[in-house]
Structure 1
Amino acid sequence: MSWQDQLSQLVYSTEKGKISQEKEEVVTPSDGFAKVRKETKGRKGKGVITISGLGLNNKELKTLASKLKKVCGCGGSVVDETIEIQGDKRDIIKAELEKAGFKVKFIGG
């Protein structure tokens, strides 16, 4: 889509209000492994476990993230195609992901 097409799109109508564009959800295919990594960079020293490479759509990621948060007893969120779980609960997360049918690979330290 060229920039001229973007400028000519309808964004507001007095009859309907704000017009939102439908976005296609693109899911990156999985290689068969859930990559579990501990990160502290940019988080003021707080540890966060990130889980990527699942190959799930956004709705499935959110349900899996809420299940993991309940099992771990901590907070977390879904950012892009990555689940972030607060704290260092790698063993619990590995067991739950294997129960859900994923192969788990620890990345980093």
Structure 2
Amino acid sequence: MDLQDQLKNLFPEHEFKEEPKAEPDENAVWLQDDPLLCKYEKRKGKPITIIDGYNGATKDFKILAKELKTTLGVGGSFKDDTIIIQGDYRDQIMQLLKDKGFKVKRVGG
């Protein structure tokens, strides 16, 4: 007998109303007004793509970083509120971010 059944036995005339719990969507990401900056650099001779300019929650940005890395099938990291993706994937990243509803600005080259 669980707690709900015990309460029904103690208070038979009371009507219990269960409110549905709104669970946060795992894929929901904070959208912003300012565009994300998509940069291209070379570090130690290797090309990298940097995404910067996000002003939402850090947790959401980490989720976005993981999703980008798994979609592209490449490595990368999340440091100091920037996403670093190994390789030059500016076009694919910009398209993925636009599909999610972000404004994206290409910086450099």
Output the TM-score relative to the length of structure 1. Answer: 0.67
Count of aligned pairs between the two proteins: 78
Specify the structure having the higher radius of gyration (Cα): 2
Instruction: Please tell me whether residue 37 in structure 1 is matched to residue 39 in structure 2.
Output: yes
Q: Distance in 2 between matches of 1:31 and 1:37?
A: 19
- Structure 1 residue 58: deviation in Å? 1.5
Whether contact under 8 Å (1:35, 1:104) holds in the other structure is yes
Q: Distance in 2 between matches of 1:57 and 1:35?
A: 17
Per-residue CA deviation, residues 70-103 of structure 1 (Å, 9 max, x unaligned), is 1111001111111111101111101111112111
Unaligned runs of 5+ in 1: 1-29
**Which residue of structure 1 aligns with residue 63 of structure 2?**
63
Output the TM-score relative to the length of structure 2. Answer: 0.67
3-state SS of 1:47 partner: strand
Q: Distance in 2 between matches of 1:86 and 1:58?
A: 21
Q: Distance in 2 between matches of 1:36 and 1:46?
A: 17
Per-residue CA deviation, residues 46-89 of structure 1 (Å, 9 max, x unaligned), is 01100011212221111000100011110011111111111011
Write out the 4+ residue segments of structure 1 that deviate beyond 4 Å after TM superposition: none
Q: Distance in 1 between matches of 2:56 and 2:69?
A: 17
Q: Distance in 2 between matches of 1:50 and 1:70?
A: 16
